[in-house]
């Protein structure tokens, strides 16, 4: 326990000194700390991960996804140009669904991305419910092939949280 306390103490001291120096230098310190691979490079194949079973929301301290999206007051005009597009329409099914079981369905907090049966042939397709987007930009950062193009929606549409 003493070793743990000492380690935490020294780690905090180093962080404090480095942060103070960075602020003093206005962010122009002569080094850059790296933190390994980019977020979109760090997904593991679904086959190497055990499935996670989440408990159902209880409506008291946990809530279903769409009621949480409703609380954001999100709105986009129905006829505006799409602010979420794909660079290559084949990548979601051929790569993301095949290798990662569709991570878009999990990293998007607003249920924008859904894999649904493809009526035009093939098994599945990615459906983008852009109307629900709450502008967190997670998809822009986390999509494994950087295939999602996120642009600012027309007219500043999007979330309008009450009291913010």
> In the set 38, 65, 137, 161, which binds ligand SF4 (CB under 6 A)?
137
Q: Which positions ≥6 away from 116 have C-beta within 8 Å?
A: 124, 125, 127
Site for ligand SF4 in 28-47 (CB under 6 A): none
Q: Least Å distance between CB 29 and ligand SF4? A: 32
Q: Considering the rule CB under 6 A, would residue 138 count as an interface residue with ligand SF4?
A: yes
CA-based torsion, 18, 21, 27, 29: positive or negative: negative
136 scored as a contact of ligand SF4 (CB under 6 A):
yes
Binding residue for ligand SF4 (CB under 6 A) from 91, 133, 147, 153? 133
CB of 134 to ligand SF4, least distance (A): 4
Where would I find the H helices in 45-157? Answer: 65-71, 91, 98-100, 104-107, 138-142
Question: In the structure encoding, which two tokens stand for residue 14, read together?
Answer: 């180093």
96 binds ligand SF4 (CB under 6 A): no
Residue 126 interacts with ligand SF4 (CB under 6 A): yes or no: no
> In whole angstroms, what is the distance from residue 132 CA to residue 66 CA?
9
- Number of residues that make up the chain: 164
N-terminal to C-terminal alpha carbon distance within the chain: 43
Please state the closest distance from residue 114 (CB atom) to ligand SF4, in A: 11
Size of the site for ligand SF4 (CB under 6 A): 13
**Contact positions with ligand SF4 (CB under 6 A) in 140-159:** 150
């Amino acid at each position: 326990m003493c070793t743990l306390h000492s380690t935490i103490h020294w780690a905090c001291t180093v962080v404090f000194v480095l942060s103070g120096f960075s602020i003093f230098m206005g962010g122009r310190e002569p080094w850059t700390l790296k933190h390994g691979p980019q977020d979109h490079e760090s997904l593991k194949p679904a086959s190497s991960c055990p499935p996670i079973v989440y408990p159902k929301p209880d409506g008291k301290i946990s809530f279903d996804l769409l009621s949480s999206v409703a609380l954001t007051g999100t709105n986009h005009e129905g006829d505006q140009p799409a602010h979420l597009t794909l660079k290559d329409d084949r990548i979601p099914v051929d790569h993301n669904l095949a290798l990662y079981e569709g991570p878009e369905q999990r990293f998007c907090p607003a249920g924008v991305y859904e894999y649904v049966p493809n009526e035009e042939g093939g098994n599945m397709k990615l459906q983008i419910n852009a109307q629900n987007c709450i502008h967190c930009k997670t998809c822009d950062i986390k999509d494994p092939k950087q295939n999602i193009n996120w642009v600012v929606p027309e007219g500043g549409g999007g979330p309008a949280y009450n009291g913010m």
